[in-house]
Every structure is written in structure tokens, then in C-alpha cells.
Homo-oligomer: A and B are copies of this chain.
Amino acid sequence: MKKITIGEAARRSGVKVPTVRYYESIGLLAAPSRSEGNQRSFEPADISRLAFIRHARELGFEIDAIRTLLTLQDDPNQSCASADAIAKARLVEVEQRIRSLMALKAELETMVEGCGHGRVDQCRVIEVLADHGQCTHSHH
């Protein structure tokens, strides 16, 4: 069992070094054992856990949601209903976010198309921002 340094753990999991320490500090990752010279020594399981966290973060899960997911993972006898609920809630959020970004995209396209690279007083970009009534959509 060779020791895995924090740098090695970071490289293998794709989580940055200071972020690994941060996750430890907020209790998302158990404090690893230390070497003679007080340096962290990780286990392969820690790498998996870090990769799990990284992936969940990439998917936009919040730290608290990840904490719940990790608790579930740690106890495989539990029902996965909570995990399912978290994922479903996230799916709804994502769908909503996509809808609003599509509307936003349309608005930005109108702005950019309308801009004839003239002076500011004829610029659609500024104009549309100044007067929300000209939007191609309405916000909630």
C-alpha cells in the first residue's frame, strides 16, 4: 500500500488540490491519515469518492445534495428513493434552465442581428437592454 499524495489524488480524481482540502474541511471527505511529516495519505476509496463528487458537481448538484447522495452510497441497504428524488428535482431544474436559456438566446440573437455596427444611439444591443418592452419574450 503505497501512499497517495494529495497531488496524486487531485490528478487521478480531477479535483484540484486546494479543493480536495476544502472538501475535507467541510466534511465531505473523511480526513485521511498522515505521513511522518504530516502529509495527507489517501486511499483508493478516497479517489473514487472525489471522482463521484466531481462528477456530481459537473452535473450541477449542490454540495448538500452530494452530501445526501454520499450518505446513501455509504449505506447500500437504504432505499434509493432519496437519490431518485434528488436526481428528479435536478432534472426539473435543468429543463427549466434550458427553457430560459433558449429564450435568452433568442433575445441575444435579435440584439446582435439588429446591431449594424453604427453608433451607440442606433444600437439594438443597448436599446433592447434599456427597454425591456422590446424583448422577444417575457421573464416569469
Interface residues of A (CB under 8 A from B): 48, 51-52, 55-56, 58-60, 69, 72-73, 75-81, 83-84, 86-88, 90-91, 94-95, 97-98, 101-102, 104-105, 107-109, 111-112, 115, 117-123, 125-126, 129-130, 132, 135, 139
Report A76 CB to chain B, min CB distance, Å: 4
Query: How far is A89 from B122 in the complex, measured between Cα atoms in Å?
Result: 20
Copies of this chain, count: 2
When the two chains form the complex, which single residue of B87, B115, B130 contacts A112, counting CB atoms closer than 8 Å?
Answer: B87
| B84 and A120 within 8 A (CB) | no
A102 CA to B98 CA, complexed, in Å: 7
Q: Contact between B108 and A59 (Cβ–Cβ < 8 Å)?
A: yes
